[in-house]
Amino acid sequence: MKTLGNIIWVVFGGLGIALEYLLAGVTLMITIVGIPFGLQSIKLGILALWPFGSEVREKEPQHGCLNLFMNVLWFFVGGIAIWLSHIALGIVFYITIIGIPFGKMHFRLANLALSPFGKEVV
Protein backbone atom coordinates (compact mmCIF):
# COMPACT_ATOMS: atom_id res chain seq x y z
CA MET A 1 0.00 0.00 0.00
CA LYS A 2 2.92 2.32 0.74
CA THR A 3 4.30 1.81 -2.75
CA LEU A 4 0.96 2.59 -4.36
CA GLY A 5 0.59 5.71 -2.20
CA ASN A 6 4.09 6.85 -3.17
CA ILE A 7 3.43 6.32 -6.88
CA ILE A 8 0.20 8.32 -6.71
CA TRP A 9 2.04 10.95 -4.63
CA VAL A 10 4.75 11.38 -7.29
CA VAL A 11 2.18 11.75 -10.07
CA PHE A 12 -0.03 14.27 -8.24
CA GLY A 13 2.47 16.82 -6.95
CA GLY A 14 5.28 14.98 -5.19
CA LEU A 15 7.62 15.36 -8.12
CA GLY A 16 7.03 19.12 -8.23
CA ILE A 17 7.75 19.56 -4.52
CA ALA A 18 10.84 17.34 -4.77
CA LEU A 19 12.13 19.43 -7.68
CA GLU A 20 11.47 22.59 -5.65
CA TYR A 21 13.61 21.21 -2.81
CA LEU A 22 16.32 20.10 -5.25
CA LEU A 23 16.43 23.48 -6.99
CA ALA A 24 16.59 25.27 -3.64
CA GLY A 25 19.36 22.90 -2.50
CA VAL A 26 21.49 23.42 -5.59
CA THR A 27 20.98 27.19 -5.39
CA LEU A 28 21.97 27.26 -1.73
CA MET A 29 25.10 25.21 -2.40
CA ILE A 30 26.56 27.90 -4.65
CA THR A 31 28.24 29.49 -1.64
CA ILE A 32 30.27 27.71 1.01
CA VAL A 33 28.06 29.09 3.77
CA GLY A 34 24.95 27.64 2.09
CA ILE A 35 26.24 24.07 1.77
CA PRO A 36 24.65 22.78 5.04
CA PHE A 37 21.33 24.32 4.00
CA GLY A 38 21.61 22.85 0.51
CA LEU A 39 22.34 19.39 1.84
CA GLN A 40 19.36 19.61 4.18
CA SER A 41 17.15 20.77 1.31
CA ILE A 42 18.24 17.85 -0.87
CA LYS A 43 17.57 15.44 2.01
CA LEU A 44 14.06 16.89 2.35
CA GLY A 45 13.62 16.60 -1.41
CA ILE A 46 14.32 12.89 -1.27
CA LEU A 47 11.77 12.56 1.54
CA ALA A 48 9.25 14.62 -0.45
CA LEU A 49 9.72 12.32 -3.44
CA TRP A 50 8.91 9.10 -1.55
CA PRO A 51 7.27 10.05 1.80
CA PHE A 52 4.92 7.17 2.62
CA GLY A 53 6.60 4.59 4.82
CA SER A 54 9.32 6.93 6.02
CA GLU A 55 9.56 8.38 9.50
CA VAL A 56 11.14 11.57 10.78
CA ARG A 57 12.78 11.41 14.20
CA GLU A 58 14.53 13.87 16.44
CA LYS A 59 18.28 13.34 16.57
CA GLU A 60 19.90 12.98 19.94
CA PRO A 61 20.56 16.45 21.32
CA GLN A 62 24.06 17.73 20.82
CA HIS A 63 25.84 20.17 23.04
CA GLY A 64 25.33 23.76 22.00
CA CYS A 65 22.67 25.51 20.03
CA LEU A 66 23.84 25.01 16.44
CA ASN A 67 20.61 23.29 15.37
CA LEU A 68 18.54 26.15 16.76
CA PHE A 69 20.70 28.73 14.99
CA MET A 70 20.54 26.81 11.69
CA ASN A 71 16.75 26.42 11.99
CA VAL A 72 16.33 30.17 12.53
CA LEU A 73 18.45 30.92 9.45
CA TRP A 74 16.63 28.24 7.45
CA PHE A 75 13.27 29.76 8.41
CA PHE A 76 14.17 33.08 6.80
CA VAL A 77 16.25 31.78 3.87
CA GLY A 78 13.89 29.23 2.37
CA GLY A 79 11.67 27.64 4.96
CA ILE A 80 8.78 30.06 4.58
CA ALA A 81 8.51 29.63 0.79
CA ILE A 82 8.57 25.84 0.94
CA TRP A 83 6.19 25.86 3.91
CA LEU A 84 3.71 27.96 1.92
CA SER A 85 3.93 25.49 -0.98
CA HIS A 86 3.12 22.56 1.31
CA ILE A 87 0.24 24.42 2.99
CA ALA A 88 -1.30 25.44 -0.36
CA LEU A 89 -1.04 21.91 -1.79
CA GLY A 90 -2.35 20.41 1.46
CA ILE A 91 -5.45 22.61 1.31
CA VAL A 92 -6.02 21.68 -2.34
CA PHE A 93 -5.78 17.97 -1.54
CA TYR A 94 -8.12 18.27 1.44
CA ILE A 95 -10.93 19.45 -0.87
CA THR A 96 -11.53 15.88 -2.06
CA ILE A 97 -12.00 12.84 0.15
CA ILE A 98 -9.51 10.82 -1.86
CA GLY A 99 -6.83 13.50 -1.44
CA ILE A 100 -6.98 13.67 2.38
CA PRO A 101 -3.98 11.31 2.94
CA PHE A 102 -1.93 13.42 0.55
CA GLY A 103 -3.05 16.61 2.25
CA LYS A 104 -1.98 15.13 5.60
CA MET A 105 1.41 14.31 4.12
CA HIS A 106 1.83 17.88 2.88
CA PHE A 107 1.02 19.22 6.34
CA ARG A 108 3.53 16.78 7.87
CA LEU A 109 6.17 17.95 5.41
CA ALA A 110 5.22 21.58 6.11
CA ASN A 111 6.16 21.12 9.76
CA LEU A 112 9.47 19.66 8.70
CA ALA A 113 10.05 22.47 6.18
CA LEU A 114 10.05 25.06 8.96
CA SER A 115 12.72 23.43 11.14
CA PRO A 116 14.60 20.55 9.47
CA PHE A 117 17.86 20.69 11.43
CA GLY A 118 18.10 18.25 14.32
CA LYS A 119 15.90 15.68 12.61
CA GLU A 120 16.71 12.52 10.69
CA VAL A 121 14.71 10.53 8.14
CA VAL A 122 14.39 6.81 8.84
* 22 phi and psi angles, rounded to 5 deg: -65, -45
Per-position pLDDT tens, the chain of length 122: 788 888 888 888 788 889 988 998 899 889 888 888 888 888 888 888 888 888 888 877 777 788 888 888 888 877 888 889 889 989 999 998 888 988 999 998 898 888 888 888 77
Q: Looking at beta carbons, which pairs linking 79-86 to residues 24 or more positions away fall under 8 Å?
A: 79/113, 79/114, 79/115, 79/116, 81/24, 82/20, 82/21, 82/24, 82/44, 82/113, 83/110, 83/113, 83/114, 85/17, 85/20, 86/17, 86/110, 86/113
**Residue 24 sits in which domain range?**
2-121
**pTM for the whole structure:** 0.82
Looking at the structure of the chain, the number of domains it has is: 1
